[in-house]
Structure 1
């Protein structure tokens, strides 16, 4: 497995990965088939993120296939440029095999090099595997978003989690 920052040539593979992860998991924001994402839109997003010093995308690759991603979206104002919001997705067949750990280690190295001070994310309170990973990587719960999401007809709370570097 190889962890690296995204290339523009990865746009179509990343779109397919995102859509597959969303179809395999009830823990993502978008439901299966809800998002209309094209390779052209993803290419535009990659280019835009490359121009920002506080945003990036890391991918996990195995035998030429993308198996996981970690998107870091930096704050756009002077007061929050030190902070990035994270979105993580890993193919179901690769979960629990160290992919997330390796993505977070690469992200943290990048974040320190780019003077990022705060890593933050939200996670459904019933997503035990993700919470375990984030806690292992040094993230702490900061609060709860009550009834934040409506999943399969039921309201679900989310934790705010963050790590200060």
Structure 2
């Protein structure tokens, strides 16, 4: 049990983890009940991830099942293949236990091995825990995406954060 690269067999559990995260926190992109992809579409996405050399998903597996993930989405063309966009989520019961730090450490080692130079992500400006983790891992704010999202009827800003390897 621990952090590992996702396998095709994880597709259903991964989808359920994402739905749980949507229900637990407003910091994820999807609202509760909005995620409706058929399981075969999830399996196809996992297959695509496993085929690409600059794209990966790590999951945190505990006896209870999957409790967190970190996805690295690499650029698809020559001009941005050196860059990877990150998305992370950890169930509330497992936050503050060092899993985020561990996932980002594993991902960065992978990124260096793959020759990736730029890691980037967005985070809502009021997500203090997320911002603290990203700063701890060496990410810096590069700008603000004003009114980037609409959450609970209010416009929300996001920081664009990045780290150069």
The bucket for the TM-score relative to the shorter chain is: over 0.9
Q: Which moved more, 1:36-45 or 1:128-137?
A: 36-45
1:143 aligns with 2:149: no
Aligned partners of 1:93 and 1:146: how far apart in 2?
Answer: 30
Aligned residue for 1:43?
43
Aligned partners of 1:84 and 1:102: how far apart in 2?
Answer: 18
Aligned partners of 2:26 and 2:46: how far apart in 1?
Answer: 26
Aligned partners of 2:42 and 2:136: how far apart in 1?
Answer: 30
Aligned partners of 2:57 and 2:110: how far apart in 1?
Answer: 11
Aligned residue for 1:86?
86
Aligned partners of 2:126 and 2:144: how far apart in 1?
Answer: 12
Aligned residue for 1:55?
55
Aligned partners of 2:106 and 2:7: how far apart in 1?
Answer: 16
Runs of 4 or more consecutive aligned structure 1 residues displaced over 6 Å after TM superposition: none
- The CA deviation at 1:64 is 5.7
- The CA deviation at 1:89 is 0.7
1:156 aligns with 2:156: yes
Q: Which moved more, 1:59-68 or 1:116-125?
A: 59-68
8 Å CA contact 1:55, 1:74 repeated in 2: yes
C-alpha root-mean-square deviation of aligned residues, in Å? 0.9
Q: Which runs of 5+ in 1 are unaligned?
A: none
Q: Which runs of 5+ in 2 are unaligned?
A: none
Aligned residue for 2:113?
113
- The CA deviation at 1:43 is 1.0
Q: How does 1:13-52 map to 2 (within 5 A)?
A: 13-52=13-52
Aligned residue for 1:2?
2
| Superposed CA offset, 1:30-64 (max 9, x none) | 11111113321111011111111110000011116
Structure 2 counterpart SS, 1:19: helix
8 Å CA contact 1:12, 1:38 repeated in 2: no
| Superposed CA offset, 1:47-90 (max 9, x none) | 11111111000001111611100011011110000001011010
TM-score by length of 1: 0.97
